[in-house]
Amino acid sequence: MMLFRTAFVERGVSRRKVRIPTSWAGRKSLEVFLKIPKKEFSKMQRVIPYELEYDERWKQATVRIDDQLKLQKLISAFRMSYEYILGK
């Protein structure tokens, strides 16, 4: 079952709505899927201290979220994915 979390991102005066797909990976953990090209994924691996997987078919990175994860360490990953979606 795929869950969607909606994040509002401030962009100037207007707010853009971005959907972040998530899925249950077990009883106590979620997976977050971030759209990103392969060349950006290698940069993301250096910045993020957590285990990441890349899916060539969907062109997305997968991050497993459990109770040990600190979300503030993922802000740069969300920002990279958001910029890719916007076409920057």
pLDDT above 60 for 26: yes
pLDDT tens readout for residues 38-58? 999 999 999 888 889 999 999
Instruction: Output the DSSP codes for 40-72.
Output: HHHHHHHH--S-EEEETTTTEEEEEE-TT--GG
pLDDT of residue 17: 65
Mean pLDDT of the chain: 80
pLDDT above 90 for 14: no
Q: 86: pLDDT confidence band, cut at 50, 70 and 90?
A: confident
pLDDT above 70 for 22: yes
